Chains A and B, each alone.
Chain A
Amino acid sequence: MATVQLWSSLTRFTDGARAVEVPGATVAEALDNLVKAHPGLDPILRGGVSVVIDGEMIPNRHAEIAPDAELFLMQRLKGG
């Protein structure tokens, strides 16, 4: 199971959980399963988030992830 780390103001959508374990072999599968478990997160994810795995931002939803991967959700990053 991968672990998705949420920013804490999202915990009102996850029954208070800051970290949610989800199955998934890719970023997309993990995020889709996260939304299935906690539908309140859907508008947040559809609004755009950045996913960081092992310290690196992974923009590709189809990137494969390790079974014990830690996914950090961050606000969508952009620059000047």
Chain B
Amino acid sequence: MAKDGLTEFRLIGTRPDRPDGLDKVTGRARYGADFALPGMLFGAVVRSPHAHARIVRIDTSRALALEGVKAVVTRADLPDGLEGEDWDLQENTLAGDRALYDGHAVAAVAATSRLLAEEAARLIEVDYEVLPHVIDVDDAIRPDAPVIRQGAADASVPEGMPPNVVRYMEFGHGDIEAGFAEADIVRERSYRTEAAHQGYIEPHACVGQLGADGAGEMWVCTQGQWYIRRMCAAVLGLETAQLRVTPSEIGGGFGGKTTIFMEPLSLALSRKAGGRPVKIVMSRAEVLRATGPTASASMDVRIGMKKDGTITAARAEFRMQGGAFPGAPVDMALYCAFAPYKLPAVQHIGYDVLANRPKCAAYRAPGSPMGAFAVESLLDEMCRELGIDPVEMRLTNAVREGDRASYGPTFGSIGLVEVLEAAKGHPNMAAPLGPNQGRGIASGYWFNHSGETSVSMAISEDGTAQVSVGTPDIGGSRASIALMVAERLGIPYEDVRVNVVETGALGVNEPTHGSRATFASGKAAVVAAEQAIAEMCRRAAAEWGIDAEAVEWVDGAAQPAGPNAGRFPPMTIAEIAGKMGQTGGPISGHHEGLPEGVGASFGAHVVDVEVDPETGRVTILRYVVVQDAGRAIHPAYVEGQYQGGAVQGIGWALNEEYVYDDRGRLANPAFLDYRVPVASDLPMIDTVIVEVPNPGHPYGVRGVGETGITPPLPAIANAIEDAVGVRLTHLPMSPSKVLAALKGRG
């Protein structure tokens, strides 16, 4: 389905075996918890049982008296004077004078075994003075709400706002009131989404070692080893370059492993234990209580529409809590909410609010699913009211290249129309529906991202190639980058090995986030390959005694560019590499920078559901993801990203939520009670890869990891209304909520 339809590739678009497949199916892959070192200690963390409490006293004496306990750290062991985001990270690593949420780390201990460390943690006595707490975002901005932290607001917050509002934003364009006046109908609704966890299978795990000289190492499961290095160095007051961080294989991240949680504790404990390495592996309960879920949201949306489906004006006011620290993705939610639509007038208002919950972390298209839930739900209701086909309404208002985005800038090459047309023509759209069955459609958007990127590539003596990247592989980037490099070098895919390397091996890389790895590291790797090709052409030219400019690279070999350059048989990469020790030394390429040319990705999902009127249970009957990949380098991985995003969105829509008791304690910190979808819950997720190549990437890559989680929330709500005529506006749409709505309908 390539838009240009002209370019033929040897490897791009094929589906070779994944390079990490054998390691993973045989158990050979080394995850964070698999690392062990001689003399290693084990760490355990003492966590607050209160949502909000003053820490009156911490007595570590009984723990330290236990044989085998080697170190205890509290906030007193960390440096003072941090500001801004660094202070937030430190405060979240270990509470200062107050515990700010259930599960907030208060102290940590290292001992010679894990059991001993856990026993010692139980012996650390913490006296708390329990304070009033607030969990809900709307409660947190009431005048009488407990104040999480005075003075936490940044300069964006006007005077007079409630103290738990820490960021405020307002943006838009056009005459909003004139737009509403022009509409045939104007509708307004409020929506709520609950916090959902990224739900990675592998818990956070690390081994940290730090000497008295301030030099240290860490082995850790992370999406970004340089972020871990910088953040740990900031929290502990270390020189960044003295810390070497090696990423493990990663068992899921979805944004939740782009920051630190207990990692600095392993280093702090190691330093106090004379430099012995300290391993910390979180339990599932710790992951759910103390690592970033996404925010919860309360949202008001108002939309004006003409009878033909044209949107005349739109307004969104979103309030999100991201825990006890700034950072709820309300900005991203607003940017993405109306992004699929060309709007003459739009207004966005956002509040980032503090509450007594864990510090939120990025989660796959941070904010976008919430915004889509509100906007795509209301649009669907309005289409039903006006008797308009929801796909046609979306095509009528769809943004195209050159249109001004709802959030301001002008779109470059985008593929929303192609996506909607593909969805419209999919066989699922014509599948018959039975009683209590319904169909829903929704669109979704994510910007995609680039960021600091550094890549090296070296030709081996036999003409194979090794690529060193700094972006951990969370979705197939090693295979995709190997395909691109092999394509450019003209050698087999199997001759390229891509390694995710430690912080000492490359310049600073941003994490694998923002769907950037295949775009940014891939683009840099292609440049590195081209540098190596240029050098190999020079080596061949020198052998032949002709100008390097007269040599070209074709099918993995140097050859004269034309008859005037001379008659020489092609010199293969293996021949050139075999002589490199005698022709100038190693042949490699290296590229670093801030790759430009990011291409945004739109998607549309179509879901069929059946609602059990007796129980309220919603069953997914059919599901298809349609999304613009730019170009699918390894289509199987792209399909996997589409399916994974859809499944996480389905879980968020139907099951997943953080449930707090009246004391502000998380009531469901286990997968039995925090229920993510499993294979038996779902049908096969169908996928359609639309390819509108991104002109900013040599092979047209856009990035595909995040858009897919955005449409499921509203698509399922729309399908439920189609099935049984009730509109749910509060996630998750659990059986009890669906049943209550059905009963309310009478």
The chain A residues found within 8 Å of chain B, CB to CB, are 5, 7-10, 12, 40, 43-44, 47, 52-60, 72, 74-75, 77-80
Contacts and interface: CB of A to CB of B under 8 A. Distances in A.
Nearest to B594: A59
Contact of A75 (B331, B363, B411, B515): B331
Contact of B514 (A9, A47, A78): A78
Interface string B402-444: 0001011111100000000000000000000000000000000
A52 B155 contact: no
Contacts, number: 104
Most buried by B among A53, A58, A78, A80: A80
Given A8-B170, A74-B335, A79 B514 contact: yes
B693 interface: no
Interface in B59-87: 84
**Helix, strand, loop or mixed for chain A's interface?**
mixed
**Helix, strand, loop or mixed for chain B's interface?**
loop
A4 to B, nearest CB: 11
Interface in B285-343: 331-332, 335
Contacts of A40: 155
A72 to B, nearest CB: 5
Contacts of B596: 56, 58-60
On chain B, which size bracket covers the interface?
35 or more
Contact of B408 (A5, A47, A59, A78): A5
Contacts of B705: 80
B630 interface: no
Contact of A56 (B171, B451, B514, B598): B598
Contact of B449 (A12, A47, A77): A77
Contacts of A75: 169, 331-332, 335
Contacts of A77: 332, 335, 447, 449, 514
A7 B347 CA distance: 11
A72 B170 contact: no
A-B residue pairs, 8 tightest by C-beta: A80-B255, A79-B514, A7-B171, A75-B331, A9-B170, A80-B362, A43-B155, A52-B409
Given A9-B170, A75-B331, A77-B447, A55 B412 contact: yes
Contacts of B198: 80
B171 A8 contact: yes
A59 B453 CA distance: 12
Given A5-B408, A43-B155, A47-B155, A78 B366 contact: yes
Contact of B515 (A9, A72, A79): A79
B210 interface: no
A57 B598 contact: yes
Interface of B: 84, 154-156, 158, 168-172, 198, 254-256, 258, 331-332, 335, 362-366, 405, 407-412, 446-451, 513-516, 593-594, 596-598, 696, 705-706
A80 B254 contact: yes
Contact of A80 (B154, B409, B514): B514
21 contacts: A5-B408, A9-B171, A44-B154, A44-B156, A47-B84, A47-B155, A53-B409, A54-B410, A55-B412, A56-B598, A59-B451, A72-B409, A74-B408, A78-B258, A78-B449, A79-B366, A79-B446, A79-B706, A80-B198, A80-B254, A80-B256
A79 B365 CA distance: 6
Nearest to A60: B594
B364 A56 contact: no
A5 B409 CA distance: 9
Contact of B170 (A7, A44, A58): A7
A70 B330 CA distance: 25
A74 B365 CA distance: 16
B168 A80 contact: no
B449 A79 contact: yes
A9 B258 CA distance: 29
B258 A80 contact: yes
B408 A52 contact: yes
B445 to A, nearest CB: 12
Contacts of A47: 84, 154-155
Contacts of A8: 170-172
Contacts of A5: 408
A47 B327 CA distance: 12
A56 B450 CA distance: 11
A55 B401 CA distance: 10
